[in-house]
Amino acid sequence: MPSKFKVLFLGDIVGCRGRKVVTSFVAKVRKEYELIIANAENASGGLGLNAKNAWELKKAGIDILTSGNHIWKFKDIIKVLETEEWILRPLNYPLAPGRGFTFFSLPQGGEILVINLQGRTFMEAIDCPFLGVDRLLEELNFKGPVIVDFHAEATSEKVAMGYFLAGRVSGVLGTHTHVQTNDCRILDGFTAYISDVGMCGPVESVLGMEKGIIIERFLSKRPQKFDLAKGKAKVCGLSLTIDRLTGRCEDIAFCNWEEENDSC
């Protein structure tokens, strides 16, 4: 059994173009990674995730789908959340269907724990993600690799979570804002951290949406119907090399890719 393994974590998948570019990219790199995780809460129409698209992404080679506050938009995803272990909703939603963590058996040996959390600053006042993940780690007492998707708005809350879990998990990877940050690093010589992995979706856009509409909203301050942007798409991801037994992250690197032509 190799002492190290690689994980690919993909940022928020946005709409048709996000799904298509991720499907193409995963087909190219699938053999390089024992585990591929992607946040898919915006994969259906740019807001939410339906059952059909969830299964499509799973069949495309993504092992685990994480999510966030938009996961509840489509009712047909509830059954998938309740019955499948490869799709997560944030752990700290009270009395919610589905699960906030899952174990994944690595192809070349060992297990990894994946946890999905959601922040509260500038977002819904759900249960505390800090106390929730602290309780979970204590209850499970799992000594192997652990990856946390922290779906949050405020950078301060994400950075705080990184330091809170430093030395206890393999990675704290931020999602939700759709803009890749340049602060990836390894905390305490153990825990990979980034404030936001970024977005998988249209390049010429505002967070995946048609830029003209967003600009008009800022100018007029009137409500606007958002449309998904067209054109070429990109993948924003992060590659982690992790010790299989200790869970220590030994290397963290951006893994970004832009398609040559419009895929959708």
CA angle 222, 18, 156 (to 5 degrees): 65
Single-letter code of the amino acid located at 157: E
User: Would residue 151 show up in a list of annotated catalytic residues for this protein?
Assistant: no
Give the distance, in angstroms, between the CA of residue 17 and the centroid of all CA atoms in the same chain: 17
The answer to whether 207 touches 175, Cβ cutoff 8 Å, is: no
Q: Treating both helix axes as pointing N-terminal to C-terminal, what angle do 129-140 and 155-165 enclose, rounded to 10 degrees?
A: 20
Name the active-site residue from 70, 151, 176, 178: 70
Question: From CA 261, how far away is CA 264, in angstroms rounded?
Answer: 9
Helix (H, G, I), strand (E, B) or coil at 158: helix
> What's the residue count for the chain?
264
The answer to whether 124 touches 157, Cβ cutoff 8 Å, is: no
Q: What are the residue numbers of the active site?
A: 70
